[in-house]
Amino acid sequence: MKAIIPAAGLGTRFLPATKAQPKEMLPVLNKPVIQYVVEEAVAAGVDDVLIITGRGKRAIEDHFDRSVELEDLLERAGDTEKLRQVRGISELAEVFYVRQKRPRGLGHAVLCGAAHTGDQPFFVLLGDVIMPNASCLKRLREVHERYGASVIAVTPVEEQYVSRYGVIAGHEVEPGVWKVTDLVEKPAINTAPSNLAIFGRYLLTPKVMEILPHVEPGRGGEIQLTDALRELLKSEELYAISLECEGYDTGNVLSWIEANIALGLESPEFGADLRERLEALLGRGTRGEE
Ligand code: UTP
């Protein structure tokens, strides 16, 4: 199965860090965000990854390419572990690239992959969203196979924050699986049909690629994937799975910090030391407040 990873956005929420480097290359611990995303796809059986890039995103291509000078150096130094790590990145999957000439929105970025996915269903994984648990794509695929329809991942958000997200309306057809009847972009708190927000992972039928060229620019003048999915509802069913695990939108500075702390605490390499340092920092904060 193929996956599209849109990574051509400007990352304005993360300026100035993203002025001259892709936000998808920001590290969480010692690994760039987009490597987590590609590894998640590979773990779910994806063998063909199409990354949508744009101007200023060269570092992404370099990251998944061989680095001959670095490999020579590590080989000469006898550092086999680092050598294995560096080579492994370039061997993760068959990675292809298409450039989105201008960041015209997520829907437009996905459309840039139409020739690549053809008449097959495909995954979409946002290049700045980390899902620490690999089960999300597996569940998307199971539900897709059961209902023969597109499936999107949603996550419950606190009610006061619904107006920041695209939210689904629908009813639960089995535990954790929703049949979507509508999608509402950034609803007001009192009009939101649910608190289930669309969150970074999709399995879409080729019909979406037929719809996208006709989608008019929507919110922010961008071609929105959500608008294409709303149009899709007129001709096909759409399902949503509610995520059990927590994902991180690393394009948002606070979530990126949270991802570093959460994954850091779980890491065998950094976990124990990080916990100690955090406790010391928090202790210092409390003392300061007294
Ligand atoms: P975001 O909406 O988070 O990206 O898109 P953005 O536009 O870069 O964000 P801000 O608001 O300016 O900070 C989610 C994913 O879709 C990609 C982004 O790179 C990100 O990985 N994207 C977005 C594109 O590939 N092209 C676009 O035109 C927009």
For residue 249, the ligand 1 atom closest to its alpha carbon is 3
Say if residue 26 is in the same domain as residue 109. yes
How far apart are the C-alpha atoms of 89 and 22, rounded to whole Å?
Answer: 18
Same domain for 178 and 196? yes
The CA distance from 259 to 208, in Å, is 31
- Let me know whether 134 and 92 are in one domain: yes
- Ligand 1 pocket mutation pick from 34, 38, 106 by most atoms within 8 angstroms of CB: 106
pLDDT (tens, 9 = 90+) of the chain, 290 residues, equals 999 999 999 999 999 999 999 999 999 999 999 999 999 999 999 999 999 999 999 999 999 999 999 999 999 999 999 999 999 999 999 999 999 999 999 999 999 999 999 999 999 999 999 998 779 999 999 999 999 999 999 999 998 889 888 999 999 999 999 999 999 888 888 889 999 999 999 999 999 999 999 999 987 899 999 999 999 999 999 999 998 777 999 999 999 999 999 999 999 999 999 999 999 999 876 655 54
User: In this predicted structure, what is the pLDDT of residue 220?
Assistant: 83
Q: What angle do CA 246, 248, 249 make, to 5 degrees?
A: 140
- 171 and 261: one domain? no
- Contact call for residues 212 and 228 (beta carbons, < 8 A): yes
With the most atoms of ligand 1 within 8 angstroms of its CB, the residue from 110, 126, 249 to mutate is 126
Domain count, the chain: 2
Task: Please tell me the predicted confidence (pLDDT) of residue 290.
Answer: 47
Residues 165 and 272 in one domain: no
Q: What angle do CA 88, 9, 116 make, to 5 degrees?
A: 60
DSSP 111-159: HTTHHHHTTS-EEEE-TTEE-S-THHHHHHHHHHHHHSSEEEEEEE--G
Which amino acid makes up residue 187? P
**Does the beta carbon of 226 lie inside 6 Å of ligand 1?**
no
Sign of CA dihedral 94, 38, 22, 113: positive
Q: Looking at the structure, do residues 270 and 155 belong to the same domain, yes or no?
A: no
147-166 burial: b if 16+ Cβ within 10 Å, else e: eebbbbbbbebeeeebbebb
Structure tokens at 176: 């954790």
User: Do residues 108 and 232 both lie within one domain?
Assistant: yes
pLDDT at 287: 56
DSSP SS3 for 288: helix
- Pair (157, 262) in one structural domain: no
Do 280 and 190 lie in one domain? The reply is no
- pLDDT score of 218: 87
267 in the same domain as 236:
no
Q: What's the confidence (pLDDT) of residue 288?
A: 52
SS3 67: coil
Residues 204 and 126 placed together within one structural domain of the fold: yes
Distance CA 140, CA 177 (A): 10
Helix (DSSP H) and strand (DSSP E) numbers for the chain? 11, 13
Q: Whole-angstrom Cα distance, residue 208 to residue 229?
A: 7
Determine whether 20 is exposed, middle or buried from the number of CB atoms within 10 Å of its CB (0-12, 13-18, 19+). Answer: exposed
Domain coverage including residue 260:
252-290
Question: Are both 138 and 118 inside the same structural domain?
Answer: yes
Buried-state track 178-206, b at ≥16 Cβ within 10 A, e below 16: bbbeebbeebeeeebebbbbbbbbbbbbe
CA angle, corner 258, sides to 138 and 61, nearest 5?
60
Atom 25 of ligand 1 has which residue's CA nearest to it? 8
CB of 98 closer than 6 A to ligand 1? Answer: no
pTM strictly above 0.75: yes
Q: How far apart are CA 149 and CA 137, in angstroms?
A: 14
For residue 119, the domain's CATH number is 3.90.550.10
